[in-house]
Amino acid sequence: MPEGDTVWNTARVLHRALAGARITGSDFRVPQLATTDLTGWTVRESASRGKHLLLRLDTPTGEHWSLHSHLRMDGAWRAYAPGERWSGRSAHLIRVVLRSPGAVAVGYHLHELTLVPTADEDHLVGHLGPDLLGPDWDPDEAVRRLAEHPEQTIGEALLDQRNLAGVGNLYKCEVLFLRGVSPWTPVGGVPDLPGLVALAQRLLAANRGRWTQSSTGSLHRGQTSYVYGRRAQPCRRCGTAIRKEELGERVTYWCPVCQPERPAPPPAG
Ligand SMILES: [Zn+2]
């Protein structure tokens, strides 16, 4: 599941494959960019912002542009050596191919593929809250944004990228389990919001640099999560059957015993 750590890893793969390279051929397979040709452009860098990817390029005349993409649930970028077989996904999922002398980058099932002047990146990612894996990560600002909507459920608030950028459904479920907080708890009723935010950041950071996402510390198949994807299986702490229900637009997993629901505190004064 592409969450902040996966997107961070992907940005690093693209950076290693393409940074400094001149594009020798591009092939966009989306209508909005069908006539775009990046041949002769140079890749400056690849960066992630929450779950958004930004491939920054210079035109031959030195203008700065950014190729933006979003992986959502199923997108991926792969880098191949020239001549290597493209083994990542089915060919019909390819949305863009970028060729350079040293590597070929292939984007599969990408969403929101857009090319904008780098100066306009904010139109695409300016609404995002602090990036959990960004160089400018600001936990106080993330807590402040979350606390602005005390009546919202914490399960929905953690997925709202305007509060903090990078948490997806997996880490949301896992962080709430680890903190013993029901996903239905209103933000205002969460006992230690800064502690919860700090744990979310640590979990994502710990999973940087590898593709297997784990919140338990185990990388063995079937043992990487406490609650996510474990409906009806016994809680690893108390043995109660893990539950799965819809919450907002997403499903959520939780242990009803380890994560009791807490009411919101009465309004102050
Ligand atoms: Zn439990």
pLDDT at 264: 63
**What pLDDT shows up at residue 261?**
82
What's the mean pLDDT when you consider all of the chain?
95
Q: Rounded to two decimals, what is the model's pTM?
A: 0.90
51 catalytically annotated: yes
Confidence of residue 29 (pLDDT cuts 50, 70, 90): very high
User: Which member of 29, 236, 244, 250 is catalytic?
Assistant: 250
How far apart, in Å, are the Cα atoms of 58 and each of 53, 116, 122, 172? 17, 12, 18, 37
pLDDT at residue 265, as a whole number: 64
Active-site annotation holds for 2: yes
pLDDT value of residue 73: 87
Please write the tens of the pLDDT for every residue from 206-264.
999 888 999 999 999 999 999 999 999 999 999 999 999 999 889 999 999 999 986 66
Question: At 1, is the pLDDT very low, low, confident or very high (cuts 50, 70, 90)?
Answer: confident
Residue 8 has, within 13 A of its CA and on its CB side, a CA count of 21
- 156 included as an active-site residue: no
CA 234 to ligand 1 center in whole angstroms = 8
Q: How far is the CA of 2 from the centre of ligand 1 (A)?
A: 26
- Residues measured by CB to lie within 5 Å of ligand 1, the ion: 235, 237-238, 240, 255, 257-258
Both tokens of residue 66? 């950014």
Rounded distance from Cα 256 to ligand 1 centre (Å)? 7
